Every structure is written in structure tokens, then in C-alpha cells.
Structure 1
Amino acid sequence: MEAKYFEPFLDAFKEAVCITDSQGVVLHINAKYSRLTGIEKKDIVGKNLQELVDGGHFDIVLNPIIVKGKVETSRIQNLMNGKKLLLDGHPIFDDQGEVACVVTFIYDITTLEELKEQVIAQRELLETFKKLQSIDAGEQRICPLVVHSEAMRRAIGQIGMLAETDATVLLLGETGVGKDVFARRLHASSPRADKPFIKADCGSIPENLVETELFGYAPGTFSGGIKQGKVGLIEAASSGTLFLDEIGELPLAMQSRLLRLLQDWEIKRVGSTTPTKIDVRVIAATNKDLEEEVAAGRFRSDLYYRLKVAVIRIPPLRKRKGDILPLAQCFLEFYGARYKRSCELTPAAGQALTEYRWPGNVREMENLIHGLVITSANDRIDEGDLPIKRSSAPPINIADAEAPDLDIADRSYKDIMRELENQVLLAGLKQYGSLQEMAEHFQLDRTTVFRKVRAMAKDLNMPMPVNKRRKRKSTKDS
């Protein structure tokens, strides 16, 4: 081939081509190579490829490897402009069998690598979602949604109004009232029903793991972490519903990060500098008084107001007596079918269940009925079989009842109750000697006790008691 045709010949290749001598000096490149790398012919021909490596143009060359091994070799090369290239090098031998030059074909695999990363990320997200769904399905309780009482009908009515919106919902209620059931009902009734429902129990995740569990982490963040990184629960819920149970237990540091999600609808994985937009509907739940938590400095006020877009207060079981027996019947049928027993409640047992206060709410009832189905010797469950007792004291006539000696004339209920509370606080200080011990015995938060005692001292125009812990007797003195 005549020399004048050699350059057009190289330019006819669809692939980028680079030819070097045995020392790594560039002899020829084609036009496609310049377009792909951004390096002009005048800036590379006659130069050693190692100079371009040292100058930061790319990170690897094949020439030394091929010359030494005398075999075809392929490697991935990273350019300074972010592109990824596949180098496919071939040795050309002289008459003595030595490598005279190296011809390298170069392919742009940047798009392929990006697609590979996307596939890996999607596979990781799918596997995470399947894992979460299988765990979640195993943890779902059997709590039926029974609606007979007026209080429950009002609460359920709110679900119908809110389900069609994407508004953030805050579920409030005592432990065991069925906040999880409400959250799932909201999701199932919404346009996102066929999308993920991910539950994050903020109270059960160890504090040192909360951030990575919720937000995930980028590849290479932790030496002992998953090589490809990890999807957080928030990201796994994208396009669906994120249920943040027991949100009152979330550490303050994580509250600020969650606030950003609710403000900007984007998150950053731990170890990442790139934010990710998230389309998710947030439902939060707690059995705490968040206003009191805000006043005590344990919960961010700005996060509270972001969560308080729509509030559903779920009534405790003692305030929805019309639901007690239907609920008990649902649990009897479910556990009866599981253990192949046909149990029923006597009228006396039903009355006892109705009059019981149910401090553990629906969860307590489920466990109670579950235990009865397993342990009851007879299929008819009577009052005596119940592990709860009704009060045997006869009803008291109001006219015969003894009232405490209180001055209530021309005084508001609020003033009377404040006087009673002050008396209790004074008695507590006298009995226990310190705010800390009084808080422990009264089963109150120390901050709450401090606030109440300070208000009492102001009411009675007395100095604030010194908070000293009473000395306990040592075992030697006893």
C-alpha cells in the first residue's frame, strides 16, 4: 500500500485506532481516536504514551504489557474527561519474532458502563424490596379493621378523605391501637396501592445504624460494608409509601435529615455527595405527645409541623366499646381456624371483656384470645377462664359516695386541679427528696416533673427546691 493511502485507510475504520512502536511511541492514530479522546494528532504522534499517563490524560496503556508478554491484551482505560474505553491491543512481530509495533483498537464503553451500573442499582433495589416485603409480610399482625363504634367510624372516615392525596399523615394513638393497620389501609386505598409499602420502625433500629438503614450508603463508604453500597428504606419506598413507625424515638440528628426529605423530597446516601430525588408518600406514627416532646427539646418543632399536615387520632379500645366483642370474635375465628378449634365466649365472658379497660389495646386482646384458644380446656370460654377480672365491688350511689374535703365554691375546675397537683408534688418532694426519684416513682419524665415543680414554686411563692439525690442506705447499714 502506498504511504499516501495509509492515513485514509486508518480513518476508514469505525473503531478508533492507535499504532505504537515497541517503546510505546505513537506512530499513527486515526480521526476516530481524536474524536473519542479529544487529543489532536499533533499532540500525540511522536510522543510516548507514558507521557500522557503522567500528564493525567488517561490512566493505563497496553504497550509495555504486550511487548513483554507478546500476546493480545485487553484493558479498561479511564480518560480524564470521564469516558471509559476498552483497549484491544495486538502485537505485530518482526522477522526475529520480536514485537515491532502494537496496534490497538479502542471502543467507547462509557454508555455500557453506565447501563451496567443502572442495572446493578435496579437489581439491588429489587432484591432489597423483595427482602423488605418478605420480612414485612412475616411481621404483619392479624389485627382486623373492625368499625362498629362511632369513634372508630370517624377515624376511618378520615382515611377515605386522605387516601386520594399525597399529604403527609401523622397517626396518633396509644401502643397497640392499630396504627400499622391504619397506615396499610391508607396505602391500599391510595393511587400508590400497587407500589411499595415500606415500614421503618424508628424505635427498634439501633441509634448507630439509623442513618444507614434509612438513607443507605454509597459504594466504598465502609470497609466492611456491601461493595455496591446499600439502598436505604426511604429509597426503597420510592414511588410508594414510607411508614415511619414510632417516629418520636428518632434521634435529633436524624430528624434534621428527615426534615430535608419532607422539604426538598431528596436524600443523600451516607458517603455520597449527590442528592437523589425521591417520590414517596410519608405516613408517620407515634404514641408520644409530640407537642410535649417539642417543649422538652427532644423533637424538632419544624419537623413536627411538617408531619402535622393531616392528623388521625386513633381511639383506644376502652373508648370504642362497641368494637370489643366483634374484635374478640374475629380473633376467635382466626386462631380457631389455625388450631382447628371452635371456641365461643359465654355472655358473662363477653361482658367481662367489654368492661375491661384494655391498657394494651387491640394487641393485648389479640394475645389474650390467642392464649385462650390454645389453653382453654373447653370450647366455651367463660368469665373464669379469662386472665382478667371484673371489679366485684357493687356500684356506688352518687349520694352515698364520699368526696374529698375540697373548697370548690366559685372556683374553676382548672384552678382546683392545679391545687391538687401542687399538693401531690409537695407530698412527693417530702417523700422522695429529689426530682429524679420523684420522677421515677411517679413514672414521669424528669423534664416534666421539673417543669411542674417550677410552676408549683411560682404558684406558692416559694423557692425552687434544690435537686439533691437522697442518700440510699448501704448494705453495711442494713
Structure 2
Amino acid sequence: MNEEDILEMELKAILDASYDNIVITDGQGKVLRASPNCLSIYGKVAEELIGKNVDELERKGIFSPSVTRRVLAEKKEVQVMQHTLTGRSVMATALPVFDHEGNMIRVISFSHDLTELRQLKEDYEELRAKMEYYESEIQELRDKEQILEGITFKSKEMHNIWQLVQRVAISDATVVFLGESGVGKNVFAKAIHEKSDRRKEAFIEVNCGAIPETLFESEMFGYERGAFTGANKEGKPGLIELSNHGTLFLDEVGELPLGLQAKLLKVIQEKKITRIGGTQPKNINFRIIVSTNRDLWEMVQKGQFREDLYYRLNVVPITIPPLRERKDDLLQLCHFYLEKFNEKYKTDKVFHQATVNAMLDYQWPGNVRELENLVERLVITTEGRVIYPNALPFYAHAAAALPDLEPEGEGWEEEGGSLQQALEQVEIRWLKRAARQYKTTYEMAEYLGISQSSVVRKLKKYGINS
């Protein structure tokens, strides 16, 4: 066997064994050799390709595009992505072969089937889409969970507070909630308990301002049998004892009498209590959360609150802002409570936009509690389906406080003005008021209950600089 036969056998073995498809052409693009796996990749057996020119094969869509044709034109290595008749994606790389005189005598191309890789990528993209969908579903469930807990918000500030609440919930750190009455401090305290390892145990809520001072000690610490006249004959566990392994929430802790503050401090430090009339202390394992609408540090300065107790309680202070400072949450809460009480009372009430605007203007001294009570009252007492602003208890007061929003009345007749002129003046006042309160025409549109394009048109009409 001569050397030429050996080289022929070696070349055939390479073509047969190669995972990649190999096509060899001459210097004019005529196919000289091709791997047997042409059928699976290009849909044609090798014999159908041999003798054909790559230009012809490209026109038939077999090589699309032809990497060999590109090499013949550019006289350098070329790499392209091909799409074959069999629906496969192929990465084709072709190399020119030159003789000693620089003439291109061969073009050798290697085609690697990337169909499986493309399928993996598509599967990955589909999986990622499903993950994003599931994440959105999980977030929706979390939002529903927040609503079930009585917590719903939209503002970034409240979102940050909620994130902090969830972080501290997994610890046993003492938390003090600060803020005005009615902002929902007790709701957040309950949320911490529900998200902690103590959630299966008791959550004992104590309003420090609601229990008379003479009864406070017996209610908090309990008493043994026969401790005093008129007491339960069997004795009674106190609220601190009932919170064992759970959470003790002291609402309005600033109302706690000074004498009891020292006893509470001792219990927090030692985690032991002794019932009134008893002699044996009991170990108590509880987490304490407190809230107040007062400035505890100012009370410390005035001698109304113990400094050592202040530092013991002020481990993680969380301030809940009043409702009037978070308009985004106010709007969301309005609709949340409306939906809640519509469902409770089997009604289908809706707010008129002017009603929503009036509620956004109101200062809400009673905060979320006042809003919840008001929406329930409106749902119960409003006769028609639509809740108009005159149903609001503060509407008359608000109208009196904002005379610039009202027409000039009889003065227009005296000045000879028409109804249209009067309406335009009222419209101007509303637009100016919205321009003062909001930064964008979109916010103004939501406030006024009209489209954003209408706001832009009217501002231009009246020459109001927003």
C-alpha cells in the first residue's frame, strides 16, 4: 500500500470519526469531500453534496449562509451561524488553504451542531420566565399576607419600615414603636410576633393607659390565694406570666406609673416575677415590645420616666409616620377599607373623585384608626352607591377653611360676570391649588380627577406655570 492510499484512509477515518461535520472544497467552491453526518445536520447525504458548488447549495438553502463562499471572497478564516433544512442551528468555521504560490487550493469547513445548546438556552429562558412568574405570585401572596395582617402600604418609607420589622422579628430584641395614636403600632407589633419563633405562643397586649393604677400591679404580676380581700380565692396569674414563651406588648408604655416602672425594669432584667402575696419567684421567658405616642426622652428629662428603663426599652426604635405625611398610603388605605367593608356589609359603594380629593386634603388627626372607622361609617350610612364629599363629617369645615375654592357668589352678578366666567375662575383656583401641592401633571390629574392631557391643556389655556 502506497503513501497516497494511507493518507486517503487517514482522511476518511478523520471524516467518519469527527463529531463535527467537515466539508472540503477546492479553490472554486466545489465540494470534494464531506463527513457522513451531513444527513443529520444538513438533510443531505455526503454523495449529494460532492461535486456540487457551494453557490448552488446555498441557493437551495442547504448551506444558509455558505461559510465557504465567504472564505473564497475574503480569503481568510470566517465563522458564521447557519440554519439548515433540518431546522438545526450550526456554528460553521471555514479556513482557507494556500499553496506555495499563494493560491487558494482548498477550503475546509467545520460545522458544530448547536441545536441542543440552543434548546438548552430556550429551556433556560422558559425556566427563568417561570421563575419570574412564580416570584410575582409569591410577592402577590406576600402582599395578601400583609393585608390579612391589617397592613397595606405603597410609600417607600413604609416599605422600609416593613423590611425592618421583618428583620427584627427573627430576633428577640426589644422593639419600641413610636408615633401618634392610631398609626397602627399595635398591628406592627402583632406582625413581629407572627413572624417570630414565638408565633405559636401567646401574644399578650396591655394598654398601660387603660388599667387603673391601683389595679395595675395585680393585673401585671398576678396574686396568690388570699393575697387581699375580694381577690380570686384560687389566685390569678398576671399578664406577664401569661406571656411566658410568647410576646408581651405594652401599648402606651409612657402612661406607666413611675412606681411600676422600677418593677417592670427588674422583671425585664431578671426574667422573673413574684406574684403579690407570694414568696417564690417564677422564671418567665418572654419577648417585650412597647409603643408610645409620647416623647420618652423628654419624659426622662422631666423625671416622668426612668432613664434606665428607657435605655432598656429603646433597643430598636421604629417610628411610624402619621397618615397625613404619606398620601400614597392614604389613597391605598381608602380603597382597602372600602373593599373590606363592602364585603362585610354586602354593598358595592364607590368614592366620588371629589370625595377622594377631600380625604387627601384632610389632616387625619386620628390616623389610620380614624380612616378605618370613617370608611365603615360611610359604607353603612350612605344611601346611594356613590359616596359624595358632603357625606364626610369634615367636609363643611374643609369648605369653610378653603374659601378660595368656592365661586365668588353674588359678587359675579354685581360685576356683570357670566356663569362661564365664574366656572373658569373656580377651575383656575383648583388648578393653582393642584400646582402648588403636586410636582407633576400626572399627580395633578389624579388629584383633580381628570386626564393628564386635560391638565396640560388647561394649564396652557389659563397661563398657569406648574
Q: Give TM-score scaled by structure 1 length.
A: 0.52
The answer to whether residue 345 in structure 2 is matched with residue 306 in structure 1 is no
Does structure 2 retain, via aligned residues, the 8 Å contact 1:358–1:364?
yes
Matched, 1:321 2:327: yes
Residue in structure 2 matched with residue 365 of structure 1 by the alignment: 371
1 CA distance for matches of 2:270 and 2:403? 59
CA contact (8 A) 2:208 2:252 kept: yes
2:336 pairs with 1:334: no
Distance in 2, matches of 1:280 and 1:143, equals 22
Indicate the residue corresponding to 2:404 in structure 1.
393
Q: C-alpha displacement at 1:146, in angstroms?
A: 1.0
Question: 1:309-458 counterparts in 2 under 5 A?
Answer: 309-389=315-395, 390=398, 391-393=402-404
- In the other structure, the counterpart of 1:123 is none
For the Cα contact (< 8 Å) 2:175–2:316, is it kept in 1? yes
Corresponding letter in the other structure for 1:282: I
Deviates more, 1:351-360 or 1:242-251: 351-360
2:183 to 166, 172, 177: 177
Whole-angstrom CA distance in 2 between matches of 1:378 and 1:142: 29
Q: 1:264 aligns with which of 265, 270, 283?
A: 270
TM-score, length-normalised on structure 2?
0.53
Residue of structure 1 in register with 2:193 after alignment: 187
> Partner of 2:240 in structure 1?
234
SS of 1:195's partner is: coil
Once the 2 structures are TM-superposed, how far is the Cα of residue 263 of structure 1 from its aligned partner? Answer: 1.1
- Check if 1:293 corresponds to 2:304: no
Partner of 2:168: 162
Alignment of 1:145-160 (within 5 A): 145-160=151-166
Distance 1:386 1:147, change over 3 A: same
Distance in 2 separating the partners of 1:321 and 1:153: 14
The structure with the largest helix share of the pair is 2
Q: Deviations over 1:216-256 (max 9, x none)?
A: 01122123211221100000000000000111111111100
Segments of 5+ residues of structure 1 without an aligned counterpart are 1-140, 399-478
Tell me the residue number matched to 2:438: none
Maintained 8 Å contact 2:149/2:191: no
Query: Hey, what does 2:224 align to over in structure 1?
Result: 218
Query: What one-letter code is carried by the residue in structure 2 that aligns with 1:158?
Result: L
Letter in 2 for 1:393: D
Contact preservation (8 Å) 2:265, 2:309: yes
Q: Following the alignment from structure 1 to structure 2, what is the Cα–Cα distance between the partners of residues 321 and 392?
A: 23
Question: What SS is found at the alignment partner of 1:243?
Answer: strand
Three-state SS of the structure 2 residue aligned to 1:199 is: strand
Deviation string 1:12-60 (CA, Å, 9 cap, x unpaired) is xxxxxxxxxxxxxxxxxxxxxxxxxxxxxxxxxxxxxxxxxxxxxxxxx
CA distance in 1: counterparts of 2:148 and 2:207, whole angstroms: 18
Residue aligned with 2:237, SS? coil
The alpha carbon displacement at 1:338 in A equals 2.2
Report the CA distance between 1:278 and its aligned residue.
0.8
Gaps of 5+ in 2: 1-146, 406-428, 434-466
Post-superposition Cα deviations, 1:257-309, rounded to whole Å, max 9, x if no partner, equal: 00001111111111112211110000001101101111111111110110001
C-alpha contact (below 8 Å) 2:153/2:333 kept by paired residues: no
Distance 2:229 2:294 in 1: 38
Aligned to 2:56: none
CA distance in 2, matches of 1:279, 1:392: 59
Alignment of 1:248 with 2:254, yes or no, is: yes
1:132-170 CA-to-partner distances (Å, cap 9, x unmatched) read xxxxxxxxx998211201121121111011000001110
Instruction: Give the alignment partner of residue 203 of structure 1, picking from 187, 204, 209.
Output: 209
Q: Provide the secondary structure at the position in 2 that maps to 1:285.
A: strand
Amino acid at match of 2:156: E
- What is aligned with 2:460? none
Structure 2: which amino acid aligns with 1:313?
Answer: T
Partner residue, 2:122? none
Question: CA shift at 1:337, angstroms?
Answer: 2.1
Contact 1:151/1:319 (<8 A) preserved: no
- Counterpart of 2:364, as a letter, is W
Q: Name 2:24's counterpart in structure 1.
A: none
Aligned partners of 2:151, 2:380: CA distance in 1, in Å?
23
What is the deviation of 1:340? 1.7
Q: Classify the secondary structure of the residue corresponding to 1:171.
A: strand
Q: Whole-Å Cα distance in 1 between the matches of residues 148 and 226 of structure 2? A: 41
Alpha-carbon spacing, 1:349–1:148, altered in 2? closer, same or farther (3 Å): same
Quick check: which has more Rg, 1 or 2? 2
Q: Matches of 2:325 and 2:156 in 1, distance apart?
A: 10
Aligned equivalents of 1:214, 1:174: Cα separation in 2: 25
Q: Report percent identity of matched pairs.
A: 46
Helix, strand or coil at the partner of 1:335: helix
Corresponding letter in the other structure for 2:252? E
Alignment of 1:7-22 (within 5 A): none
Of residues 360-369 and 375-384 in structure 1, the stretch that sits farther from structure 2 once superposed is 375-384
d(CA) in 2 for partners of 1:253 and 1:169?
22
- Letter of the structure 1 residue corresponding to residue 368 of structure 2: V
Pick from 286, 289, 303 the counterpart of residue 280 of structure 1: 286
* Matched pairs, number: 259
2-structure distance, mates of 1:146, 1:240: 25
Query: Could you say what secondary structure the match of 1:282 adopts?
Result: strand
Q: 2:169 and 2:382 mapped to 1: Cα distance?
A: 41
Distance 1:379 1:235 in 2: 50
Match of 1:26 in 2: none
**3-state SS in 2 of match to 1:223:** coil
Residue 444 of structure 2 is matched in structure 1 by none
Instruction: Give the distance between the partners of 1:342 and 1:177, measured in 2 at CA.
Output: 27
Letter in structure 2 aligned against 1:144: G
SS, match of residue 374 in structure 1: helix
Counterpart of 1:51 in structure 2 is none
**Ranges of 4+ aligned residues in structure 1 off by more than 2 Å:** 141-144, 388-398
The residue type paired with residue 385 of structure 1 is A
